[in-house]
Structure formats: structure tokens, C-alpha cells
Amino acid sequence: MSELKNKLADKFNPSAWSGWKAWKHYKHTGFNLIEEVNALDPDLVIDVGCGHNRFKGHIKNIIGFDQEPFPFVDIVSNIEDINFRKESADVVLALGSVQFGDRDLVRKHFSKVVEWVKPGGYIVMRTMKDSVTPYHHQQAHYIWTDEDIVNIGNEHNLEIVKGPFVENVLDAFNEIRSTRMAWWYKKPGELTKYKIDPYNCEINQR
């Protein structure tokens, strides 16, 4: 296993990781997404690095994968090894997961994720911005800069349609403990529904 994978396996050990608790602070990338994503009546939603897969059963047609064996993941896999049909997902959620390694690796993972999105579909991003302790920065995070959000989006011909928003995670005294950035990209085109013809297995647009 590479040094990065070792570090992440340690950090995201399913029985020890407590980062899920930050969710109660998220206004843009927490439970609000259930309503916002379901409003699109999605054929497929992919949750990249889903951790506890907590949208399962709440967001329609969601599949969550993670490279760590969290008990409720649909698929245990890393981004590099998994394959979804190109342009099949209405929404890809990349909530804290496309931000590890160096900038090149992050771009490589991001490019792969973009391929899965339908024309007119969305990618919802959450990334680490800052922390009062250096703790997070020792954990193999790449910090997406404001320029990255624009430039990496442009490189992939994506438009920023929501955000970037700041998501603050508070401590027990309501002081800011760490900060995340959150935003939505949109792929150009018109979002269309599909169904798979059960007879000839072709995808029909409707």
C-alpha cells in the first residue's frame, strides 16, 4: 500500500473516525442535499468517498463507494479502480473525498469523476479550507485554493452554479474549529432522464 493510502486508512478507520460529527454544522453539504438532489429526480447519484453512506435510503438512486470498509458502503473501492458508465450520473457528490495527495492526483481523481456526470449534471464538492490546528494539514489533504475552484472547473468546462460557500465546523464552545469550502459545478448541456430498455438494454432518453 502506498504511503498516502496508509495514512488515509489510518485517518478514516471506520471504527474510529469521528469526522462524521461535523455534519450537523454543514448548511450546504449536509442534510439539505437530500431535498436539493431529490428535486432533480435523479436516475443515478454517485457518492464518492461516502464514508458511512448516510444519504443511502434518503437520496433517490444513490450508490456510495469508499476505499475504506465502512459497514454501509455499497462498494469498497478507491476512485482509481472503480468504473461507472460515462455520463450516467445526474449528480456526483464529492464531499471531502477529492482532496487527498498532491494537486496532480486530485486533478486526476477529479477528471475521472467528471466523466461520470451526464451533460447538464452536477458535482457537489466539499474540501478542507483551514483549521485552527495544523492537524488536518498533516493528514495528506490538498487544499483547493480559490483559484483551483475556478481553474480546475474551467479545465473541465464546468460552470460554478452554487457557491463557493464557507462551511464552518464549530467546537463545543461555538468557536470555529475548522473551515470547509463547498460548491456545485454543472456540466454544460441539458439534464435528461434515461431508462434502460429491459429488452435490448439500450438507454432511452426521455
Ligand X SMILES: C[S@@+](CC[C@H](N)C(=O)[O-])C[C@H]1O[C@@H](n2cnc3c(N)ncnc32)[C@H](O)[C@@H]1O
Q: Shortest Cβ contact with ligand X: which residue?
A: 49
Q: Which helix (H) or strand (E) holds 11?
A: helix 3-11
Any idea which residue has 451526464 for its cell? 118
> What angle separates helix 103-116 from helix 146-155, to the nearest 10 degrees?
50
Q: Which is nearer to ligand X, 56 or 120 (CB)?
A: 56
Q: Which is nearer to ligand X, 134 or 198 (CB)?
A: 134
Minimum CB–partner distance for residue 173 and ligand X (Å): 23
> What Rg value do the Cα atoms of the chain yield, rounded?
17
Minimum CB–partner distance for residue 197 and ligand X (Å): 32
The interface with ligand X within residues 6-35 (CB under 6 A) comprises 8, 12, 19-20
By CB under 6 A, the count of residues binding ligand X is: 16
Q: Which is nearer to ligand X, 44 or 79 (CB)?
A: 79
Minimum CB–partner distance for residue 81 and ligand X (Å): 8
Q: Which is nearer to ligand X, 159 or 171 (CB)?
A: 171
Minimum CB–partner distance for residue 92 and ligand X (Å): 12
Minimum CB–partner distance for residue 161 and ligand X (Å): 20
Query: What one-character-per-residue DSSP string does 122-191 give?
Result: EEEEEEEEEESSGGGGGTTB----HHHHHHHHHHTT-EEEEEEEEEEEE-TTS-EEEEEEEEEEE-SS--
Total number of residues shown for the chain = 206
Strands 203-205 and 45-48: unpaired
Minimum CB–partner distance for residue 95 and ligand X (Å): 4
Residue 162's closest CA among 1, 10, 29, 64? 29
The interface with ligand X within residues 40-69 (CB under 6 A) comprises 49-51, 66-68
The interface with ligand X within residues 70-129 (CB under 6 A) comprises 78-79, 95-97, 100
In whole angstroms, give the CA distance from residue 119 to residue 59. Answer: 20
Interacting residues toward ligand X by CB under 6 A: 8, 12, 19-20, 49-51, 66-68, 78-79, 95-97, 100
